[in-house]
Structure 1
Amino acid sequence: MIEILATLSASAAAGMRIGVPLLIMGLWQGSNFWSNVPVLSNISSPVLFGCLISWSLVELFASKKLWGQRILQIIQLLLSPLVGAIMGLAVASATATPHWLIILIGSLLALVLQLVQIGWFYRLRGLPLWAVFLQDTLCIALVLFAFDAPWQGGVIALILLWFAVRSAKEWYQWYHKKL
């Protein structure tokens, strides 16, 4: 059960950002960590590290501007399920839980959280700066919780999932009131 909570925590982080969680996970676990991660083990560590640093900086700076948020949303929508699955597998690699289940949980949670971000972006006509900083902080915290406190990280991920369901319900009601 702890492995599933750790998977939820890491995948929720991937639902907010793509490069930052992977970079923090690699830095936190050491340079040999990426050699055990599916898909990323095929890329040399210096190249992967450079790409993750570059993309993390792009995410951190571009997300503060409206045009940057729009561009990042398209890229993150396409890649967040893949990164969610990779992070889920990386966190729960030594578990008896079937890999297909971890991939499914990780990718779906990351996709749902990314869709909620897009929904709020269009509803609010851009995410406020305080919300972007909250996302960055929560993303980093969820990655750290996935390794050190999976119970707390999993609970936070479930709260985010509950928030996603509530948001969808509110948008549905809002849409029908406008008709």
Structure 2
Amino acid sequence: MIELLAALSASAAAGIRIALPLLFIGLLQGGNLWSQVPILSQISSPVLLAILTSWSCFELFASKKLIGQRFLQIIQLLLSPLVGAIMGLAVASATATPSWLIALIGGMLALVLQLVQIGWFFRLRGLPLWATFIQDTLCIALVFFAFDAPRQGGLIALIMLWFAVGSGKYWYRRYRRYTRQKYYQPD
């Protein structure tokens, strides 16, 4: 159960940012970097370090501007399920749960959190600067929690999922209210 909570924590981090959690996972593993991470273990460590460092810096700086947020959303929407699955598998490698199930849960959690971010982006017409700083801090904290305190990290990931479901319900009620007002007004 602890490994599943750690996988949820790491996958939630991938639902916020893409390269930053992968970079931290590699750095937290010490000298062997990404040798235990599926898919990434096939790529040379110096090349992967350069790619993830440059993309992490780009994510951190581009997320502070509106045009950068729009560009990142497209990339993150496409890659978040894959990165969420990789993060889940990297953290929960020694569990009795089938790896395909961990990959599926991690990828879906990352995708759901990414969709909620996109929804709030369009609802607010761009994420405010303070929200992007919270996202960056939360992303890094979730990676650390996945290794050092998986129960707390898993709990934070489940709270984020609860918030995502609540946001979806809010948007659906708002949509229903709008369509009722638009189509059922007496003439």
**What runs of 5+ residues in structure 2 fail to find an aligned partner?**
180-187
Counterpart contact for 2:33–2:45, Cα < 8 Å: no
8 Å CA contact retained: 1:81, 1:106: yes
Q: CA RMSD in A?
A: 0.7
Q: What is the CA-CA distance between 1:47 and the residue it aligns to? A: 0.1
Contact 1:5–1:155 at 8 Å: present in 2 too?
yes
Q: Which residue of 2 aligns with 1:66?
A: 66
TM-score (norm 1): 0.98
Tell me, yes or no, if structure 1 residue 95 matches structure 2 residue 99.
Answer: no
- The separation in 2 between residues aligned to 1:145 and 1:36, in whole angstroms, is 18
Match of 1:152 in 2: 152
1:139 partner letter: C
CA radius of gyration, larger in: 2
- Identity among equivalent positions (%) equals 77
- Alpha-carbon separation, structure 1, partners of 2:15 and 2:40: 18
Aligned residue-pair number:
179
CA offset at residue 31 of structure 1?
3.5
Deviation at 1:25?
1.1
Between the aligned partners of 1:26 and 1:95, the Cα distance in structure 2 is 20
Deviations, residues 76-133 of structure 1 (Å, cap 9, x unaligned):
0000000000000000111221001100110000000000000000011000111110
Tell me the distance in 2 between the aligned counterparts of 1:132 and 1:30.
28
Structure 2 letter corresponding to 1:9: S
After TM superposition, list the pairs within 5 Å mapping 1:6-45 onto structure 2.
6-45=6-45
**C-alpha contact (below 8 Å) 2:6/2:154 kept by paired residues:** yes
Stretches of structure 1 lacking an aligned partner (at least 5 in a row): none
Stretch deviating more after TM superposition (32-41 or 78-87): 32-41
Distance 2:55 2:33 in 1: 19
Matched, 1:108 2:108: yes
